[in-house]
């Protein structure tokens, strides 16, 4: 038996993730076979089993990768914002806009929900905690009315997550995005100290 180096193992894992992301995005989870995945990656089923356990484990890893990328993009918006309130609002709008991106729409918002039961508890917790810190800072600055930052973050995140699912599920996703952004702006104005 040939021993593989750590670098080779990491390369194999990365190849499987990249291939799965491409194929899941194009065909969807249900219409992708493990044999097709491994053939496209020029790897064996054993490699897939070793790194991810099964196809569902591979999907979970792809979703985690996409979630991490989404978080980075959203954090960059907050970091670059000159006005903290406008940065928060822009971050919320961009989250909704991401529902139009094919890999996010197909993999995260459609397939993950059906196969994995939606977003992982860890990913949701991280999103709510990040939003809670932003809301707490906005409250301290006198921009957002005083309330429980955790409760408000949970409500806003839950609204965004459900709206993103609604956008992704429709034939008229672009129209649904416009409607969701308008509703979001109405919702967010309601939390301001002086709307």
What is the pLDDT at residue 1?
54
- Is 85:138 a contact under the CB 8 Å cutoff? yes
Query: Residue 148 has what pLDDT?
Result: 97
User: What tens digit of pLDDT does each residue of 60-80 get?
Assistant: 999 999 999 999 999 999 999
Cα 71 from Cα 35, distance rounded (Å): 32
Strand partners, 192: 144
The tens digit of pLDDT for each residue in 13-37 reads 999 999 999 999 999 999 998 888 8
Confidence (pTM): 0.87
CB-based contact 128:111 (threshold 8 Å): no
Q: Is the pLDDT of residue 10 over 60?
A: yes
Average pLDDT of the chain is 91
Per-residue pLDDT tens over the stretch 107-151: 999 898 888 875 566 677 888 999 999 999 999 999 999 999 999
Six-digit token string for 144: 């957002």
pLDDT over 90 percentage in the chain: 70
* CA-based max dimension of the chain: 69
Residue whose token pair is 């094919």: 102
| Residue 191 burial (CB count, 10 A) | 19
SS3 per-residue string spanning the chain: CCCCCHHHHHHHHHHHHHHHHHHHHHHCCCCCCHHHHHHHCCCCHHHHHHHHCCHHHHHHHHHHHHHHHHHHHHHHHHHHCCCHHHHHHHHHHHHHHHHHCHHHHHHHHHHHHHHHCCCCHHHHHHHHHHHHHHHHHHHHCCCECCCCHHHHHHHHHHHHHHHHHHHHHCCCHHHHHHHHHHHHHHHHHCCECCC
Give the residue, 170 or 59, on which the prediction is more confident: 59
- The answer to which of 42-56, 75-89, 148-162 has the lowest mean pLDDT is 42-56
């Amino acid at each position: 038996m040939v021993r593989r180096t750590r670098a080779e193992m990491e390369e194999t894992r990365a190849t499987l993730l990249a291939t799965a992301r491409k194929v899941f995005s194009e065909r969807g989870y249900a219409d992708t076979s493990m044999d097709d995945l491994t053939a496209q990656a020029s790897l064996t089923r054993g490699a897939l089993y070793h790194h991810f356990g099964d196809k569902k484990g591979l999907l979970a890893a792809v979703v985690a990768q996409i979630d991490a990328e989404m978080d980075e993009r959203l954090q960059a918006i907050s970091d670059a914002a000159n006005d903290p309130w406008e940065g928060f609002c822009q971050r919320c709008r961009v989250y909704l806009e991401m529902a139009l991106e094919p890999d996010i729409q197909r993999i995260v918002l459609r397939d993950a929900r059906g196969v994995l039961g939606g977003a992982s508890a860890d990913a949701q917790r991280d999103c709510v905690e990040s939003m809670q810190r932003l809301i707490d800072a906005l409250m301290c600055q006198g921009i957002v009315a005083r309330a429980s930052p955790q409760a408000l973050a949970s409500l806003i995140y839950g609204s965004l997550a459900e709206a993103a699912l609604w956008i992704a599920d429709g034939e008229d996703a672009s129209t649904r995005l416009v409607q969701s952004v308008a509703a979001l702006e109405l919702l967010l104005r309601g939390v301001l100290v002086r709307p």
